[in-house]
Structure 1
Amino acid sequence: MEGHRVLITGGAGFIGSNLANQLVDSNDVIVVDDLYLGTPENLDPSIEFHEASVLDEDLPADVDVLFHLAALSSRNMHEDQPRRGVRVNVEGFVNTVEQVREHGCDTVVYASTSSIYGSQTEPSCEEMAVEAQTGYEASKLARERYAEYYSNQYGMSMAGLRFFSVYQGYGGAEKHKGEYANTVAQFADDLANGRAPELYGDGSQTRDFTHVEDIVRGIELAAEHRLDGIYNLGTGESYDFNTVIELLNEALGTDIDPVYVETPFDDYVHDTLADSTKMSEATDWEPQISFEEGIERVCEPYT
């Protein structure tokens, strides 16, 4: 992707900053972030940064492409602040899309979530029935419906990407997320610092862990191909948390057993697994970083 003026909301956060830094060499990149989970330190200094909210009325909206990643991005954030969750995730989405649309932008790529599939040990595809078990999931489903409206009413390309368990590690832009970082990053930091990671239940839960570089490439391809509709981004492979701890111990040269604790909420998603065939057929996207390689990258700063 080259020669475009792009706006990335949530662009100082984990995924957003990786995307911004990838695009800045060949595009004019503008980042909006309220710094709730982001920091300008994640960004290349040549990126135009605005500390602002997606609820603001005067966003820098004269752009060719909108990458809308800003969100309250976890279950717990929404259970703690349900009204704020709706404002940021739904109203903030509509507000931002309206402003760029009024400036002639017709290409939008936005973050949805794989959480709406619930617990699935078989690969989840986009045609599956989904439902909202949490306020976070409800907000992302609302976002998908508003995107459908903009596609139907205004002919805009609205690509909603359902990410599967995105990770990078504290050596990248994930550290600023702290307790909201992916479990791989948190477990690695625990082990490297001599702490026993806490696993819910018996550690048999599984995730389709997808490296942020593969996610960024998928986001970029969605804009290049002006995709419209919903697309999964995941590897199609899953690992249980006990195995994750084993792999991390091996990479770090540590030997620390996890501590098992009671799962704190009933709607906990036990298993995720992506079917990304639709994305692959549309763009030739395939994940390129194996989980074993990803683990090595996460652990490298500690060794």
Structure 2
Amino acid sequence: MQDERILITGGAGFIGSNLANRLAGNNDVIAIDDEYLGTPENLEGAVDYRQQSVLDDELPTDVDVVFHLAALSSYAMHEDDPTTGARVNVEGFVNTVDQARQDGCDTVVYASTSSIYGSQTDPSPEDMPVTVNTGYEASKLARERYAEYFANHYELNMAGMRFFSVYQGFEGAEEHKGEYANVIAQFAGDLADGEPPVLYGDGTQTRDFTHVDDIVRGLELAAEHELTGVYNLGTGDAYSFNELVDMLNDELGTDIEPEYVENPIPDSVYVHDTCADSSKIREEASWEPQISLKEGLEMVCRPYR
């Protein structure tokens, strides 16, 4: 993308700041964030940063493209305060998109979630049945339904991106997330400090780990191709937490066994396995993941050496 005026909500957060910094070189990028989960320290100077909430009345939506990434993004946050979770994730989405629509913007790319597939060891396509077991999942599925409304009623381009286990490492913009960071960042940090990583259950759960650089390219391509619908962003390869710890030990030159603890998240809501079928966005926008897990772990571990 180039020579576009762009708004990124949640723009000081993990994925949002990576996207803002990538696009700011060739575009006029505005990033807003309420700083609950983000920090402006993640952003480069070329980004026009403003501390605002997606619930505000006057948002800078006179833009060509909106990337709506702002959200309360964990199961625990929604269980602690379901009303605030719904307000930020659903009302904030509708508020932002409707202001953009009124300002003449017709392209919105927004964050959904792959959690609604539940536990799946086979690659999950977008058209498979989905279920909602948590407030977080309910809020993201509500976004998809409202996006369908905006697309059908107002003919907006509305692309919902179902992310699969996005990581970068604590040396990137993930550092401020702390306990909410991807397990790759947490496990690498533990091992580098000589501490055993803590695994829920027996460590056989699997994730389709996707590097943030690949996610950012997918978001950009969705806007460039003016996509409408929902799209998976994942590699199609799944690794267990046990395998992940072994790979991180290899990268760091450590030999530390993990600590296994009882899973504090109820089995009825815990997603044990994820794997993406990303053929839809590959076909419609020529997106391909470029960073293998081995390459990504090397990038995560490099600062610790």
Give the TM-score taking structure 2 as reference length.
0.99
Unaligned runs of 5+ in 2: none
Aligned equivalent of 1:157: 157
Write the letter of the residue equivalent to 1:274: A
Aligned equivalent of 2:168: 168
Matched pairs, number: 303
Structure 1 CA distance for aligned equivalents of residues 101 and 27 of structure 2: 20
User: Is structure 2 residue 57 aligned with structure 1 residue 60?
Assistant: no
User: Is structure 2 residue 68 aligned with structure 1 residue 71?
Assistant: no
SS for the counterpart of 1:31 is strand
Structure 2 CA distance for aligned equivalents of residues 193 and 45 of structure 1: 32
* Post-superposition offset of 1:45: 0.8
SS for the counterpart of 1:50 is strand
Aligned equivalent of 2:274: 272
SS for the counterpart of 1:44 is coil
* Post-superposition offset of 1:160: 0.1
Q: What are the superposed Cα offsets for residues 153-206 of structure 1, whole Å, 9 maximum, x if unpaired?
A: 000000000000000001110000001100000000011011111101100000
Structure 2 CA distance for aligned equivalents of residues 111 and 207 of structure 1: 18
* Post-superposition offset of 1:144: 0.3
Structure 2 CA distance for aligned equivalents of residues 202 and 41 of structure 1: 37
Write the letter of the residue equivalent to 1:155: E
Unaligned runs of 5+ in 1: none
Q: What are the superposed Cα offsets for residues 202-235 of structure 1, whole Å, 9 maximum, x if unpaired?
A: 0000000000000000000000000000000000
Aligned equivalent of 2:296: 294
Structure 2 CA distance for aligned equivalents of residues 286 and 61 of structure 1: 30
* Post-superposition offset of 1:134: 0.3
* Post-superposition offset of 1:240: 0.2
Q: What are the superposed Cα offsets for residues 94-121 of structure 1, whole Å, 9 maximum, x if unpaired?
A: 0000111110000000000000000000
Aligned counterparts, 1:36-51, within 5 A: 36-51=36-51
Structure 2 CA distance for aligned equivalents of residues 118 and 264 of structure 1: 17
Structure 2 CA distance for aligned equivalents of residues 299 and 128 of structure 1: 36
Aligned equivalent of 1:131: 131
CA RMSD of aligned residues (A): 0.5
SS for the counterpart of 1:274 is coil
Write the letter of the residue equivalent to 1:276: S
Identity rate of aligned residues, in percent?
A: 69
* Post-superposition offset of 1:81: 1.1
SS for the counterpart of 1:161 is strand
Aligned equivalent of 1:93: 93
Write the letter of the residue equivalent to 2:183: T
User: Is structure 2 residue 34 aligned with structure 1 residue 18?
Assistant: no
Aligned counterparts, 1:227-242, within 5 A: 227-242=227-242
Give the TM-score taking structure 1 as reference length.
0.99
